């Protein structure tokens, strides 16, 4: 079996060596051709097509430690897969030993302390499902099939960000397997430098096998959903969005997007495939107050669809899942915005009219609020001046359509990027984005991250990520 080493060379692993690792782990060890191998090696974005030499689907922390020690013994390249949702495919690598955490999805909730302990392979929906049993939640993202680890280590934002900040601002502690195969804790009181680095520095410092999150009372019933209009109403809808976003209490998060109408049951058939503009709202405050706050959205113009209603918070957290299936081709361009300028709205409308795929969208997410109140060096996620996220989301089928769709996303970005704060979200960076974009995402924190890297991973064992070189 040919595998790749940390220095980029190829080595032959013997059958005895591979069987030796198989005996040390409880989870399945898979190679190409084994049932389950393809599920592990593939990721959400079908633009990524990589073939790890070995995959271990770890069943617990001891499996992770065994894999890491085996990799160190043979100087193997490793990759760590959480939810496999990273658009750049950072969870998979050719010739590597893949440490796949997909079977480590336990969640334990302490409702008195309001803490959830989640294993490193959990998806967002795993955590919401268990915490909502107690009417609790933490800050997670908009699509329930995303991995918690990649999302949290890169920052993380969602419908609760306006109230409680980046996801990573709500981490109380991590369990981490370090480069030398030790299991350590990282929190404000224990290995504080590692704790700082993990809250934005990605998978650079170790394999996170558990995360403790601060929980808050949320729902279970909230007011949320989408209202859509024909794109011909976009100027008015985006002006409404700007006004309502400026007035919205922190309990209400507003997202707007423009795309071609999907064939969804809540939209009439005659609008399917035609351009629309929509506002997605989630209000997690008092339900009566929420209904008042969303009323201007529902009353505006003549919507073609309206499913902005009382619903369970856990359901709200899955509302967008079907729009982002695994196996399509995706290419994004993204920026943080300090606000929504009228000129930006004009450009959104103009570029949405040039969309070349039925699945693509231009999206504006409101995130302003709690995250803006912490100092920039609170953690490397930084970007405390970000108030909205712009995502130009290219999404299509068939490699033959790559060029046209990527060109649309790039051209739209070129037209819109002057509205940026200068920062961008590291977890939205595609494979072709270079070090200058990573530096823009991490702001001034890179120097401190490099020092932490030197202490915890001097040989750069963890490199299939937005890599920070030890210094």
Ligand X SMILES: Cc1cc2nc3c(=O)[nH]c(=O)nc-3n(C[C@H](O)[C@H](O)[C@H](O)COP(=O)(O)OP(=O)(O)OC[C@H]3O[C@@H](n4cnc5c(N)ncnc54)[C@H](O)[C@@H]3O)c2cc1C
Q: Are 347 and 415 in contact (CB under 8 A)?
A: yes
Nearest alpha-carbon partner for 368 in 218, 248, 225: 248
The answer to whether 200 contacts ligand X (rule: CB under 6 A) is no
Q: Binding ligand X by CB under 6 A: which of 83, 165, 380, 443?
A: 83
- Rounded Cα gap, residues 291 and 156, in angstroms: 27
Residue in 55, 208, 237, 255 binding ligand X, rule: CB under 6 A? 208
Query: Which of 21, 389 has the CB closer to ligand X?
Result: 389
The smaller minimum CB distance to ligand X, of residues 128 and 233, is found at 128
Distances in whole angstroms, Cα of residue 207 to Cα of each of 186, 210, 286: 12, 9, 39
Q: Does 203 bind ligand X (CB under 6 A)?
A: yes
Would you say 75 or 323 has its CB closer to ligand X?
A: 323
- Phi and psi of 3, rounded to 5°? -130, 170
The nearest distance, CB 149 to ligand X, in angstroms, is: 3
253 contacts ligand X (rule: CB under 6 A): no
Which of residues 93, 143, 171, 449 is near ligand X by CB under 6 A? 143
Q: Which of 260, 427, 441, 449 binds ligand X (CB under 6 A)?
A: 427
By CB under 6 A, which span of 144-152, 186-194, 302-310, 402-410 interacts with ligand X?
A: 144-152
Nearest distance from C-beta of residue 186 to ligand X, angstroms: 12
Task: Count the residues of the shown chain that bind ligand X, applying the rule CB under 6 A.
Answer: 37
Near ligand X in 29-58, by CB under 6 A:
43-44
In this structure, what token pair is assigned to residue 344?
């930006």
Q: Which of 91, 394 has the CB closer to ligand X? A: 91
Please report whether residue 91 would count as binding ligand X according to CB under 6 A. Answer: yes
Q: Does 386 bind ligand X (CB under 6 A)?
A: no
Which residue, 132 or 253, has its beta carbon nearer to ligand X?
Answer: 253
Residue 173 in contact with ligand X, rule: CB under 6 A:
no
| Site pattern 222..251 for ligand X (x: CB under 6 A) | ------------------------------
Q: Contact residues for ligand X (CB under 6 A)?
A: 43-44, 79-87, 90-91, 101, 120, 141-143, 146-147, 149-151, 153-158, 202-203, 207-208, 324, 427, 464-465
């Amino acid at each position: 079996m040919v595998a790749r080493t940390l220095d980029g060379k190829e080595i032959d692993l013997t059958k005895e060596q591979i069987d030796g690792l198989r005996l040390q782990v409880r989870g399945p060890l898979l190679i190409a051709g084994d049932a389950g191998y393809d599920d592990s090696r593939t990721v959400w974005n079908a633009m990524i097509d990589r073939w790890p030499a070995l995959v271990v689907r770890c069943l617990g922390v001891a499996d992770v430690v065994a894999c890491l020690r085996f990799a160190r013994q043979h100087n193997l390249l490793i990759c760590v897969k959480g939810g496999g949702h990273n658009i750049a495919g950072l969870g998979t690598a050719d010739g590597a030993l893949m440490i796949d955490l997909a079977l480590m999805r336990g969640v334990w909730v302490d409702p008195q302390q309001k803490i959830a302990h989640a294993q490193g392979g959990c998806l967002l929906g795993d955590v919401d499902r268990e915490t909502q049993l107690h009417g609790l939640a933490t800050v997670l993202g908009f699509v329930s099939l995303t991995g918690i680890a990649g999302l949290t280590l890169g920052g993380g934002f969602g419908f609760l960000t306006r109230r409680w900040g980046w996801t990573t601002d709500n981490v109380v502690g991590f369990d981490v397997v370090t480069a030398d195969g030790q299991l350590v804790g990282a929190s404000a009181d224990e290995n504080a430098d590692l704790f700082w680095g993990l809250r934005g520095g990605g998978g650079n410092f170790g394999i996170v096998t558990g995360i403790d999150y601060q929980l808050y009372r949320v729902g279970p019933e909230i007011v949320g959903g989408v209202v859509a209009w024909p794109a011909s109403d976009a100027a008015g809808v985006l002006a409404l969005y700007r006004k309502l976003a400026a007035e919205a209490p922190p309990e209400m998060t507003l997202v707007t997007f423009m795309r071609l109408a999907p064939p969804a049951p809540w939209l009439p058939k005659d609008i399917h495939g035609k351009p629309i503009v929509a506002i997605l709202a989630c209000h997690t405050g008092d339900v009566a107050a929420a209904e008042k706050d969303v009323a201007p959205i529902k009353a505006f113009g003549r919507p073609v669809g309206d499913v902005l209603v009382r619903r369970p918070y856990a359901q709200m957290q899955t509302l967008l899942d079907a729009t982002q299936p695994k196996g399509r081709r995706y290419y994004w361009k993204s920026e943080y915005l300090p606000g929504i300028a009228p000129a930006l709205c004009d450009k959104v409308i103009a570029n949405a009219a040039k969309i070349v795929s039925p699945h693509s969208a231009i999206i504006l997410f409101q995130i302003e609020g709690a995250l803006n109140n912490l100092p920039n060096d609170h953690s490397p996620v930084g970007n405390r001046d970000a108030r909205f996220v712009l995502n130009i989301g290219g999404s299509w089928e068939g490699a033959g359509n790559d060029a046209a769709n990527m060109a649309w996303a790039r051209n739209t970005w070129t037209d819109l990027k002057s509205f940026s704060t200068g920062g961008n979200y590291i977890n939205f960076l595609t494979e072709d984005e270079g070090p200058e974009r990573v530096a823009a995402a991490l702001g001034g924190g890179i120097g401190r991250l490099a020092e932490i890297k030197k202490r915890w991973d001097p040989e750069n064992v963890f490199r299939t990520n937005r890599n920070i070189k030890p210094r």
